[in-house]
Amino acid sequence: MALLILMLSSCLDETPVKEETIAIQHYPVIQKNEVDNPTLWLKVQFSHQAGSNEWSEIPIDAIEGFNYELGNNYEIRIRKEEALNEASGMHYIKYTYLSEISKSPVSASTTFEMPLKSNNYNPSKLVLGSAELGYKLLGEIPLECSTLCDDLENSLATNSEVTGVFRHNGDAIKLIQIK
């Protein structure tokens, strides 16, 4: 009996480590974090999802050692393992960047949509700033609105739901349509 307990406890102490290749999309998405605040997340496709339309989301800073740049699709190699957060005593999945397989910029004509204001989030307004000072999505991604700045300001002030259609423009995203 003691041998069985020892064997089981030694199996529990071993955390599986897995290396795999993942794909990362060219733009982040907005999801709620563990305390229900809106934050930026990477849209990733793990190896078990490859070849399908199934994608997962992980926090934008979750892959230790990886420097994500907007406007690029990536294929990278990571190590995935279970880790313990000493402060909370909770287990989590730790991702470590190993190498880049490919990094390809998307076409200048590629568009994508992101919410700018939504009742699904608290606070509902996901864009910070003003037409005079400039805007940032969640205070992190510069948003260029050029001729649409006044429309954006009006939409954010009067509508409960606002979605933007964007194109990449270097480290910023360029607003091309408001929905």
Q: Are 31 and 82 in a shared domain?
A: yes
End-of-domain residue from the set 74, 105, 136: 105
* Tokens coding 71: 């406007």
Number of domains the chain is built from: 2
3-state secondary structure of 124: coil
* Cα torsion through 42, 46, 49, 52, rounded to 10: 50
Q: Could you tell me the pLDDT band of residue 164, with boundaries at 50, 70 and 90?
A: very high
Q: Are 75 and 135 in a shared domain?
A: no
Q: Are 116 and 169 in a shared domain?
A: yes
Q: Are 40 and 99 in a shared domain?
A: yes
Q: Are 92 and 116 in a shared domain?
A: no
Distance CA 152, CA 174 (A): 12
Could you count the other beta carbons within 10 Å of the beta carbon of residue 130? Answer: 12
Q: Is 127 left (phi over 0), alpha (psi -120 to 50) or beta?
A: beta
Q: Are 67 and 123 in a shared domain?
A: no
Q: Are 67 and 144 in a shared domain?
A: no
Could you count the other beta carbons within 10 Å of the beta carbon of residue 12? Answer: 8
pTM for this entry: 0.85
Q: Are 130 and 54 in a shared domain?
A: no
Q: Are 32 and 95 in a shared domain?
A: yes
Average pLDDT over residues 82-110: 93
Quote the percentage of the chain above a pLDDT of 90.
78
End-of-domain residue from the set 105, 127, 158: 105
With respect to residue 8, please indicate whether it lies within any of the assigned structural domains.
Answer: no
Q: Are 97 and 34 in a shared domain?
A: yes
Task: State pLDDT tens for residues 12-55.
Answer: 445 588 999 999 999 999 999 888 899 999 999 999 999 899 99
- 35: Cβ contacts below 8 Å, ≥ 6 apart: none
With respect to residue 2, please indicate whether it lies within any of the assigned structural domains.
Answer: no
Q: Are 91 and 149 in a shared domain?
A: no
Return the CATH number at 25.
Answer: 2.40.50
Q: Are 86 and 117 in a shared domain?
A: no
With respect to residue 7, please indicate whether it lies within any of the assigned structural domains.
Answer: no
CB 116 within 8 A of CB 126: yes
Average pLDDT over residues 4-11: 38
Domain range for 37 is 17-105
Average pLDDT over residues 117-121: 95
End-of-domain residue from the set 105, 138, 154: 105
Q: Could you tell me the pLDDT band of residue 113, with boundaries at 50, 70 and 90?
A: very high
* Tokens coding 11: 């199996």
Mean pLDDT of the chain: 90
Distance CA 136, CA 43 (A): 20
